[in-house]
Amino acid sequence: MTKIVVTASLDDAVGEYLDALREVGAQAVRVDATAAPANVLAGAAGLLVTGGVDVAPVRYGAAPSPYVTHAEPERDAFEIALLRAAREYALPTLCICRGIQIANVAFGGTLVADIPAALGERATIRHRATGANGRSERGLIPEHVVRIEPESLLARLVGRTELVTGARHHQSVDRCADDLRVVARTGDGIVEAAEARFASPFWLAVQWHPESTRALDDGASRAVFEGFVAAAETR
């Protein structure tokens, strides 16, 4: 069975990610920053970098931000090392939410510390919806429409150039790393997906959470995982 390494924080629940991979025939192996980066990718066919806490501003040369109150420097360093190694090994890579953010930083880009603060009165789209219980909603947000570049890997995978997705984040890509290219945005300009400019059998980073919406969007989110695992199987 195809082995996919799945990164996470020490206390993160990653069941949805693992389930999404198992549903398309992969063996998911969870790792965290207590592991040695040099050993983690041994025998792996792919790398999945998951969501979680904010990336520390120091990682992309920014001053401390009042909007970044919970960061994990160890995880930042761990995932940056893995992303760079996966590139070197031409390992299929999928990055989700925090994943697109740390990947952009790993290759020299910067981040928006807080979307509502950055957009101010221009904010017209919810990038996080909260339920009556105070928790972030995990389903689709009707106005959160992702507009996808027609010739992109993402468009080929999901079979469309507009996709209603979920969202539960407050940071995003600001200056895109030179080695990546933006392939999707919401109407307010927030980056929602990026792909590699460098050679790779599969490299995709998305801002939303396809693991949570794979039963809600007519197969588009599931197709992301299918394409990722299919590329990993050919290694």
- Give the C-alpha separation, 124 to 7, whole Å: 32
Among 219, 234, 171, residue whose Cα is nearest residue 23? 219
Residues 6 or more apart whose CB falls under 8 angstroms from that of 227 comprise: 153, 157, 202, 204
- The strand pair at 191-196 and 26-31 is best described as unpaired
Q: What positions carry a catalytic annotation?
A: 97, 209, 211
